[in-house]
Amino acid sequence: MKLQETDTNGAVVEVADYQILAHSVEIVTTMCHGLSNAAGWWPQNKLERNVPEALCLIHSEISEALEGFRKDKADEHLDHHASLTVELADAIIRICDLAGGLDLPLGKALAEKLCYNQIRMDHKLSERAKAGGKKF
């Protein structure tokens, strides 16, 4: 299965192969979780991980990204990057860590969701412009 998008001339172009994307995300997920686990952020019994807390931590990274964007700040630790960039990276790290710890097939789900979104009518600009359509 191929992911596709339409270029500015209306031609359909292939963006990425589904399996390559899924595998790449699984590599990142394994790395993020492995580093987090090695640092002691996970209990011995992974079923004891407080999932609501982990989800709130993901949300906090998104909130920090919003604040960095709102104030047009450089990151405090990696000052050669915008705060927005680094906080989004933190959110991805936390998402991948949680997915890895819970053995969720995040890469496969992401690739499938990207493919599905290509055919969703509510994702088409023409549908979004209609009354009752998604404004954002």
133 domain residue, yes or no: no
20 domain residue, yes or no: yes
Is the CB of residue 96 less than 8 Å from the CB of residue 106? yes
134 domain residue, yes or no: no
83 domain residue, yes or no: yes
90 domain residue, yes or no: yes
Domain extent for 105: 2-125
Question: pTM of the full predicted structure?
Answer: 0.82
54 domain residue, yes or no: yes
Total structural domains in the chain?
Answer: 1
Those residues whose C-beta lies under 8 Å from the C-beta of residue 63, and which sit 6 or more positions away, are none
Question: Mind listing the pLDDT tens digit for each residue in 75-131?
Answer: 999 999 999 999 999 999 999 999 999 999 999 999 888 888 877 767 677 777 888
136 domain residue, yes or no: no
Tell me, rounded to whole angstroms, the distance of Cα 20 from its chain centroid: 16
130 domain residue, yes or no: no
